A and B are shown apart, each in its own frame.
Chain A
Amino acid sequence: MTVERDVELAVRAWIAQGSEQLPDADLDAALQEISVTPQRRADWLARRFRMMNSNVLRFGVAAAAVIAVGVVGMSNLLSNFGSPTPTPMATPAVTLASGSFTAPLTASGTTTIDIEATGGGPNVSGSMNVSDDDGRFSVDLQCTRWAEESYSLLIGGEVTDSTHDGAAEGSRVVIAFHPRTVITTLLWFEESPPAPTCRAFIESITIPIEVANDMETVVGVMRFESYAAVCDGRGCNEIDH
């Protein structure tokens, strides 16, 4: 123990020595580069903050799910996520997303989400039920879009009934799934003025990759067209589809 303490003291003494001031030339070079570097403005994120800061919508950002998947699973998942194209004649209906999971929320503790959606493009049918300590609401799912900028699958719909202060009936909401070595999910609500259609709303949403990467872990089961997994919060195991 004493020896360890001695090493710690030696490390502290050694590490205290060294340069402490960024040379002026390097600071100037950084500021020069900054002067021509635009900031990454995430409009949806700014809106999210406003919602979270008010008591209007604690679900402004809701479930965020991170599911570790294997290479094969991810390959399947990506191929599934990559082409949510319109399916005017959806017989039999293609599973877009199906499952039940919980996820830690930024404002309201654990949220439970159940989702069932089939179809593609502007022809999605299905529903999503969301609940947390503050109430519950249901969403009639209506449309979907693949967001190239963040490799995310977006599924949009309209709140049909609600006991939750944060989710007014008639408002539009989108759930996004982002696959990488993990999958990310979030909920986002429409701001006024309302978009005329689900499709107009979903096409107005941009999710930067940095934001999509910054989500939380889901616990539960999720199924997509060609991939299904059960996740325990630390990782996921692929299951029969």
Chain B
Amino acid sequence: MDTGLVERAQGGDQEAFGLLAVPLGDRLFAVATRILRDDDLAAHATQQALVSIWRDLPQLRDLGRFDAWSYRLLVRACYAERRKERRWSPSLRVLPNAIAGGAADDMALIIERDQMERAARRLSIDHRVVVVLRYYLDLPHADIADLLGIPVGTVRSRLRYALKGLRAALEADARPARSEALQ
């Protein structure tokens, strides 16, 4: 993060914010797409987060916390986007081309990822958020708690619950999926 750009943007410099927004937008989008599991929703959440960041930047006290603060606004935007999402959404997914001519290993890998995807979609957004912050951004539990405004114990319990859910879903999916693949 370029603190100079953040400082200029905080002072109302739109050009500086524009420069900041390019890498920032990519980082936020990468997180949003993993939380929301939908690129369109993630793009919209990222847009909203960027606008919020610009609008509220003068109120950021510690510029050193810009990244964490930005992720906090992104998570809020993801929650807002999730609330707007239709209750029903198609489960059809396009598998990568590799599956067409893939070897058995590729096939197994794709199947595993697909199982994980389905398992992740079964998690609540609360649980997906902590999984993404922990395993994608590699944030410590305390930082996640600070970012989300929840106790550290809640972060730990959500992670435990999420991993337990993912493991159960993977185990439940594993046999049918693998047997179908081998047929």
Contacts and interface: CB of A to CB of B under 8 A. Distances in A.
B51 A42 contact: no
Given A10-B170, A40-B59, A210-B59, A26 B30 contact: no
Nearest to B48: A30
A30 B26 contact: no
B30 A19 contact: yes
B94 to A, nearest CB: 14
Contacts of A214: 59
B161 interface: no
Interface in A16-50: 16-23, 26-27, 29-31, 33-35, 37-42, 45-46, 49
A112 B57 CA distance: 31
A148 interface: no
B20 to A, nearest CB: 11
B25 A11 contact: no
A62 to B, nearest CB: 15
A7 B22 contact: no
A27 B112 contact: no
Looking at chain B's contact residues, is the secondary structure mostly helix, strand, loop, or mixed? helix
A34 B43 contact: no
Interface string B14-27: 10011001100110
B123 to A, nearest CB: 11
Nearest to A3: B167
A12 interface: yes
B55 interface: yes
Contacts of A11: 116, 131, 135, 163, 166
A151 B167 CA distance: 47
A29 to B, nearest CB: 6
A18 B33 contact: yes
A4 B135 CA distance: 14
Contacts of A31: 18, 21, 50
Given A11-B163, A14-B113, A34 B17 contact: yes
A8 interface: yes
Contacts of B47: 26, 29-30, 33
A208 interface: yes
B58 A26 contact: no
Interface in B47-81: 47, 50-51, 54-59, 61
B30 A42 contact: no
Contact of A19 (B33, B54, B56, B117): B33
Contacts of B56: 39-40, 210
Contact of B54 (A23, A27, A34, A46): A34
Given A7-B166, A39-B54, A19 B42 contact: yes
Contact of A18 (B34, B59, B135): B34
Top 5 A-B residue pairs of the complex, sorted by shortest distance between their CB atoms: A22-B29, A22-B25, A14-B116, A30-B47, A26-B43
Interface of A: 3-4, 7-8, 10-23, 26-27, 29-31, 33-35, 37-42, 45-46, 49, 208, 210-211, 214
Interface of B: 12, 14, 17-18, 21-22, 25-26, 28-30, 33-34, 39, 42-44, 46-47, 50-51, 54-59, 61, 112-113, 116-117, 120, 131-132, 135-136, 163, 166-167, 170
Given A13-B113, A40-B55, 9 more contacts: A7-B170, A15-B135, A17-B113, A18-B34, A19-B33, A20-B30, A27-B21, A45-B58, A208-B59
15 contacts: A8-B163, A14-B117, A15-B34, A16-B136, A22-B25, A30-B47, A30-B51, A33-B51, A34-B14, A35-B14, A39-B56, A39-B57, A40-B59, A42-B58, A49-B61
